[in-house]
A = this chain, B = another copy of it.
Amino acid sequence: MDQITIHPIGVIHSPYNESKAIPIQGRFKDDVEAFVELKNEYAKGLKDLDKFSHAILLYHFHKSDKENIEGKPFLEDEVHGVFAIRTPHRPNHIGLSVVKIKRIQGNKLYFTQVDMIDATPLLDIKPYVKYFDSREDVTSGWLDKHLKNGKIPDRTIIE
């Protein structure tokens, strides 16, 4: 199979309406709230997600029209393979964020730990399960020097 067709199941409404001022990861600006608006036919799929503290959102990096194989991440000026960085300019343009669930109302899921731009097309929501998705003894390559001991790097907010 050489091509796969997917479709947005909803849209992310975010206070970030341009690339400026978005944190590189939502945890760096923890108080900002956004929401997912699902197409009505998917609303029932949210049943029982309100009992989870976190969710994984998969979405389409719709503002990128580049598919790079290597690139410089925002945090430093070294070149790395695209699969060692989290750039939007990647094959298939699928974005992934772990977010904190605040509440669910009808077809809307409100969350914090936001790092998506407004109007981002949503592809999937998965419940975040600590036993499946958290890991101990993690080493994070070129990122460790920027993030170790919980420090927040200087270049976390895109200006």
User: Taking beta carbons and an 8 Å cutoff, which residues of A are in contact with B?
Assistant: 1-9, 25, 27, 41-42, 44-49, 51-56, 58, 60, 62, 69-70, 79-86, 90-94, 96, 98, 121, 123-135, 137-143, 147, 150
Contact = CB atoms under 8 A, between A and B. Distances in A.
Oligomeric state, in copies: 2
A27 to B, nearest CB: 7
A94 B58 contact: yes
22 contacts: A1-B121, A9-B91, A41-B69, A42-B83, A44-B81, A45-B69, A47-B79, A47-B81, A49-B81, A51-B141, A53-B139, A54-B135, A83-B125, A85-B127, A86-B129, A86-B132, A90-B124, A91-B124, A94-B94, A127-B143, A128-B135, A129-B147
Nearest to A144: B51
B7 A2 contact: yes
